[in-house]
Structure formats: C-alpha cells, structure tokens
Amino acid sequence: MAKRNENPSIDPTVVEMLEVAREKGIETAFDRAEAMKPCPIGAKGACCHNCDMGPCRLVGKHDRGVCGATKETVAARNLARMIAAGAAAHSDHGRDMALTLLAAAEGEAPDYEIRDEAKLREVAEFLDVPTKGRETMDVAKDVAEAALAQVGNQKGEILFLKRAPTKRQEVWRKAGVAPRGIDREVVEIMHRTHVGNDQWYESILMAGLRTALSDGWGGSMLATDITDILFGSPAPVRANANMGMLSEDEVNIVVHGHEPVLSEMILAAVNDPELIEYAKSKGAKGINLTGICCTANETLMRQGVPTIGNFLSQELAIITGAIELMIVDIQCIMQALAPVADQFHTRLITTSPHAYIEGAEHVDFEESHALEIAKELVRMGIDNFPNRGRTHIPKEISHLVAGFSHEYINYALGGFYRGSFRPLNDAVIQGRLRGVAGVVGCNNARTRHDYSHEYIMRRLIENDVLVAMTGCGAIAAAKYGLMSPEAAKYAGPGLREICETVGIPPVLHVGSCVDNARILTTLSQMATEGGLGEDIADLPAVGFAPEWMSEKALSIASYFVGSGLYTIMGSESPVANSPVVNRFISEGWEERIGGKLEFIADPEEAAQKALEHIDQKRADLGLEAYDPTRYGQSGDWLMQQFIEAMEAGQPVNLYSAKVPRLA
Ligand code: BF8
C-alpha cells in the first residue's frame, strides 16, 4: 500500500479513521491519490480525445492535434465539456424533482404532498402558471409540466432569467448567453465540441457560459424550488455533525448522494413506531439516521438529520464497522464503497436507475410506493444489526444551525412584518459588512481535506465578509463549528455585531449543491434592493470553490461568473496548457459578462485577491473604504475580550483593553 500522506486532513475523525484503515490494510481514496499522480497532460487541458485519430497530446513540440486543433481549441473544448457534464448532472436532478412533483400532483405518488404551498404559488408565477382560485394539486401539475418544458425548451429564453436584475438580463442578451433550454444547451456543447465543429475558443467558451447559466438559473433553480415545494422551504434548525453521530447501540442507516426524494421517506420510516420496536427486537436501542454529501445537506437543512461527513469521509464511515445500511442515490458516490463495504457487514444499496455500482445490491426506488420501499430498506438495515462486529466510532461531534434559505435570510434580517434585504444592504453600505461570499464545492483527495475550506472561511469572516455555503464545503464548516451562532466570536467586529443582533452564525448553511441557486437569488435581491448598484456584478461579492473536484463544481463556478461574480477555484487551472484560454476565462469573460474565473491553489492568495476585489467593488460603488475598527463596540465585546484573555491565561485589565473608538 502507498505511503499515507502525513497531513491528509484537518478533520481528526478522518485522521483517526485513516489510521484504522491502515491497521486493517484497507485502501482508501487518500492512498490512491498518493499512489497515482494526476496525469500531467490531462490536468492542464492538453489532451484531446474527441476522435479516434488521438488522443492527441498538445505538449512539447506538438502544438496541434492531428486535425489541426490548437491548444486553445482543445483546452476550451475540454472545459466546455466538463461544464456541460456538470450542468447535465444538476439539471437531470432538477428534471427528476419535476417528475416527482408531477407524479404527486397526478396521484401517482401518494406518499408525497405539497409542504410549501406559498412557494408553489410563487414559483408558478415565474413559470407563467395561473394560480388564482385554483386547487393546489392543479397548480402543482401545471408547475411540474412547465418545469419539464423549461428543461426541453428549444427557443427563446428560460423563464427564470427574469429573476435576475434587469441589468444582468441585458448583459446576457447582449453577450448572446441567455440560455434557451437546459437540454438544448448541454446537447449543443457536445455537438459544438465534436471533431471538426466549432474551432474558435472564444465561441466555445461563451457557449460554455450559456450552458452553465442554464444550470444555475434553470436546472438547479428548478431542483431547489421543487424540493422546497415538496419538502418545505428550510428555516433554521439545530443539528449535529461529524462521525461521532454514528451510534454504538442503534441501527445505523446512512443516506448518501443528492436527491431527497427517497431520503425523506427513509426519515419517515425510521420514525415508524413498528420499525423502532422491530429494531429493539433485534437487540438495538433504536434506529439512527445520518447522511453524507448532499443528500445529507437536504435532510440536515430541513429536518436536522445529522451529517457524518463530506465526500472524502464516505469510505471511512463504513470502516467504522458501525453502519448496517448505506443507501445511495445519485452523484459523488465512490465506486470504492462496494469493495470497502464487502469487508464489513455493511449492506450498500443503490436505488437510482442512473447509478448502479457493481458489487452493491440494487433496490429500484419507485415513487408510486415510496414509503413502502423505504420501510423495506429500513427493515433490511435492522435485520443486519445482529451481524455487526467490532466498531470504531470516532467521538467528534459539532453543533450547528442549518437552514438558511434565501426566504429565511430575508425574514431574519427584516422580520415577517418588514422582511427585506434592506438591513443586509445597509450593513454593506455602512461597512459593518465588508462584503459577501459564496463558498461552495467538494473535497479533493489531491489536497489536504477541508484545509482550504476552513482557511478561507476564517479569513473571510474575520474580515467581516458574510459567508454562505453549500455542498461539502458547508459540511466542513459545520464540522469546525463555524455554523453555530457562537462562531460569531471568530468574526470581525462588524459581522460579529450582526450575528449577535440577529442570532445567526457568520457562515450560513444554504444547502446542497443545487442550492447554489439560492445564492444567485440572494445576490439578485441584494442588487435590486438598492444602494449597491443595479447588477450582481456591482456587488462587493465573490465566489469560491476551494477544494473542487467534480464537473458540477465547474458548472457552478461558471454560472457564478456568468452571473457577474469573481470566482476563485482552488487548484491549478485545468486550461493551463493554453495561456490564451486561461486569460480569456478571466479577463475575456470579465469584459463581456462582468465576472471572471481564476484558479488559485494557495488559500491565502485566494483570500487576499477576494478581499481586494471586494474593496475595489466598494470603491466603484462610492462606498466608504472598509475600516475594521469602526464597529464592534456594541453588545458584550468588552466582556468577550476579558473572557478570551482569561482563557488564554493572560493578565487581565479590563480598563486597558483595546476598544476601537472608545480608547
Ligand atoms: O453536489 S460538493 S463532492 S457531494 S459535487 Fe459532490 Fe462536490 Fe460534495 Fe454534493 Ni457538490
């Protein structure tokens, strides 16, 4: 087995479980990443394998493929295809959610209901579905059909574009990147990048942006909206995170993947008194449901189901020996789970027709009798409990508050009576907040697990930047305590005051990866609220994907850019083989669309560039320069200094404490 990286993770449970894996001789993604370096040709976008005359390696003296394709064309094609794959994944998820809503509305999925009728009616308006005087299920049926029509729309523009600020819509139309339909854009990228087709890197990359926008303002936004309609729009909920949430004496069932359609039913099933009794009859104290990756985020932010980890924790969770059943649906499920599960009593169950794993058991999930299937799965887990051998469950647990939908942010800042983004905008205008950031994306076994996420989050909040997080980054924030209101103590003075006043953490959990659409909605509302320009591109805001690895993350980053954001991804550039393309996705995109994409592996450099960008946007808006000593005199700031000094064992003199502006 390969030498284990000495610094694989900042998560002590991951380090602990890697040690257990080493003792047991079990290989994990950490080992494979160590043993197999990434292909240096593919890593920088220098390999073209779009036809059988290749693969062509455009390195060294070879600056053209057999067909004559240049480094620029090859790098642009590769990037566009990755964006299209990511957009396809999110958008197929959105389509599935629409099909579930349709089945529920037509009475073919009786276990599902409409939990957020207000949201249904709001979404109906955006989709031009009449609501007045109509029955809920009639509206739901039309909304589902309108959503499906958006996925397959052929001409014109997708309807959700009108949720963006008017100025942004104009930018899109002028640049020719207003997406027509989601399937159409993805298919067109595959066509455009076929051998002998589009050969100009600029047009390929602009089409890539349009495809990404069809994800952000289309597929992902539909997925988020319909999930809220079916399962409720999130509102703050207390929850716990990390591997310590596995139970020593209960049946452990883990849901993993992305779609909440099955996991919501599993949640209902584990609370069934009959099944709880059944678990007890097998010697367990009860049933413990937890999650991994974005299925976890979905159930965490709505019902407070604990998350036991993010992408790189999935194999390690099984190695605890404590999991009776791991139920997976779609996306980000490692093939390595099957051979790892084989070495324990864990039953690995695939459930989606889109995602089978050789060596796993497959149970077809059918919405028509969803709860019945969910109960059957839970029973399988319970039946497996007596087969459990020795376990090794790490102790770490952290606490968080999740569930910050854009609707809730609106309410939290203004209240039901005057819910609005005005207080948030005012805080930015006054400089109490320096700016806002969306930090998203995966773990990557090529980098130290969670390190860049945590580093960038801390640098941002200590500089008074309010952070919204999704995906595996959000799970990282939860594990390191940055999503609890108590984390306000790590924030700069202005952000800290806001957190204390409103009772929110400085890092907000806004959901799963499709929920990055919530970040787009929030930024749109800030841009239209007034005082911060007229467009998302005017805002002192940045996007990050510090540890990205999936093609979905590239689609997200590109639609952030397409929406006007400076977005930084934490790796070497996948188009580095063409400095021209590398420059185009930064300067070229910025000139045409107002946002830019850069790849910066060093988190400190990334944080610095983000802060510089935020300050520049503040200056462009004519706002006062950010001054960290201006706020922070309210509340218990003085007492906090006192307590921190005491805790650090420093001599305490309350009267000589440095108090900005009071000193
Ligand atoms: O969709 S952050 S590793 S789990 S791709 Fe996957 Fe990346 Fe995690 Fe969620 Ni998003």
Nearest to 305 by CA among 240, 224, 258: 240
Tell me the pLDDT tens digit for each residue of 166-204. 999 999 999 999 999 999 999 999 999 999 999 999 999
How far is residue 209's CA from residue 213's CA, in Å, rounded to a whole number? 6
How many other CB atoms are there within 10 angstroms of residue 635's CB atom?
14
Longest dimension (CA), the chain: 77
Which among 372, 283, 359 is positioned nearest to 328, based on CA atoms? 359
Q: Which numbered atom of ligand 1 lies nearest the CA of 470? A: 2
The token duo for 85 is 């794959």
Q: Whose CA is nearest to atom 1 of ligand 1?
A: 513
Query: pLDDT band for position 629 (50/70/90)?
Result: confident
Q: Which atom of ligand 1 is nearest to the CA of 441?
A: 2
Whole-number Å distance, alpha carbon 313 to ligand 1 midpoint, is 12
| Ligand 1 first shell, C-beta below 6 A | 258, 293-294, 310-311, 332, 441-442, 471-472, 512-513, 550, 552-553
Atom of ligand 1 nearest to the CA of 552: 5
With 0-12 CB in 10 A as exposed, 13-18 as middle and 19+ as buried, what is 462? middle
Tens-place pLDDT, residues 93-143:
999 999 999 999 999 999 999 999 999 999 999 999 999 999 999 999 999
Ligand 1 mutation target, pool 299, 439, 513, 551, most atoms within 8 A of CB: 513
Task: Calculate how far, in angstroms, residue 220's C-alpha sits from the geometric centre of ligand 1.
Answer: 13
Q: What is the pLDDT of residue 411?
A: 72
Alpha carbon of residue 49 to chain centroid: 30
Report residue 436 as tokens.
């806002």
pLDDT at 643 over 80: no
Alpha helical stretches, state H, 403-543: 406-414, 422-430, 451-462, 471-479, 493-502, 516-529
* 52-76 pLDDT, tens digit each: 998 999 999 999 999 999 999 999 9
**Model confidence pLDDT, tens digit, residues 11-57:** 999 999 999 999 999 999 999 999 999 999 999 999 999 999 989 99
Helices (H), 232-291: 260-270, 273-281
| 471 Cα nearest atom in ligand 1 | 2
What does the alpha-carbon distance between residue 570 and residue 482 come to, in Å, rounded to a whole number?
20
Q: What angle do CA 242, 245, 249 make, to 5 degrees?
A: 155
Q: How far is the CA of 550 from the centre of ligand 1 (A)?
A: 7
Token pair for 592: 């045409």
| Higher-scoring residue by pLDDT: 330, 413 | 330
Exposed (0-12), middle (13-18) or buried (19+): which is 496, by Cβ within 10 Å?
buried
Return d(Cα 67, Cα 70) in angstroms, integer: 9
Q: Do the bridges between strand 435-439 and strand 251-257 make them parallel or antiparallel, or are there none, so unpaired? A: unpaired
Residue 83 token pair: 């964006």
The one-letter amino acid at 656: S
Whole-number Å distance, alpha carbon 569 to ligand 1 midpoint, is 14
Which ligand 1 atom minimizes the distance to the CA of 258? 9
What is the best residue among 332, 439, 450, 512 to mutate for testing ligand 1's pocket, by most ligand atoms within 8 Å of CB? 332
Which ligand 1 atom sits closest to the C-alpha of 293?
4
Instruction: Using DSSP, state whether 347 is helix, strand or coil.
Output: strand
Ligand 1 atom 3: the closest Cα is on which residue? 442
CB 341 within 8 Å of CB 322: no
Report d(CA 196, CA 191) in Å as an integer.
10
Beta bridge partners of 435: 465
Confidence of residue 244 (pLDDT cuts 50, 70, 90): very high
pLDDT digits (tens, 9 = 90+) for 404-440: 988 887 777 665 555 678 888 999 999 999 999 999 9
Q: Which atom of ligand 1 is the closest one to the Cα of 473?
A: 2
Continuous segment of H or E residues that includes residue 246? none
657 pLDDT above the threshold of 50: no
Mutate to test the pocket of ligand 1, among 442, 444, 453, 518 (most ligand atoms within 8 A of CB): 442
Query: For the chain, how many residues are written?
Result: 663
**Nearest atom within ligand 1 for CA of residue 440:** 2
Which atom number of ligand 1 is nearest to the Cα of residue 332? Answer: 6
Which phi and psi angles does 360 have, rounded to 5°? -95, 160
> What burial letters (b/e) apply to 413-425, b meaning 16+ CB within 10 Å?
beeeeebebbbbb
Cα(251) to ligand 1 centroid in Å equals 26
Pick from 550, 551, 571 the residue to mutate for probing ligand 1's pocket: most ligand atoms within 8 Å of its CB: 550
Q: Which residues touch 246 (CB under 8 Å, ≥6 apart)?
A: 252, 288, 290, 308, 317, 320, 322, 323, 393
Going by CA atoms, what residue is nearest to atom 9 of ligand 1?
Answer: 294
Is the pLDDT score of 5 beyond 80? no
* pLDDT at residue 452, as a whole number: 97
Report residue 625 as tokens. 């320069």
Q: Are strands 507-511 and 541-545 parallel, antiparallel or unpaired?
A: unpaired
Nearest CA to ligand 1 atom 7: 442
Q: Do 485 and 461 meet the contact criterion of CB atoms below 8 Å apart? A: no
> What mean pLDDT, rounded, does the chain reach?
93
Percent of the chain clearing pLDDT 90 (strictly above):
89
Whole-number Å distance between alpha carbons of 65 and 56: 5
Question: Ligand 1 pocket test: which of 91, 263, 292, 293 has the largest number of ligand atoms within 8 Å of its C-beta?
Answer: 293
| Cα distance between residue 434 and residue 436, in whole Å | 7
Q: Which residue has the higher pLDDT, 653 or 639?
A: 639
**Residue 118: closest CA among 12, 268, 228:** 228
The encoded tokens of residue 208 equal 């890539």
Ligand 1 center–CA 311 separation, angstroms: 7
Q: What is the pLDDT of residue 660?
A: 38
Residue 419 to residue 241: CA distance in whole angstroms:
30
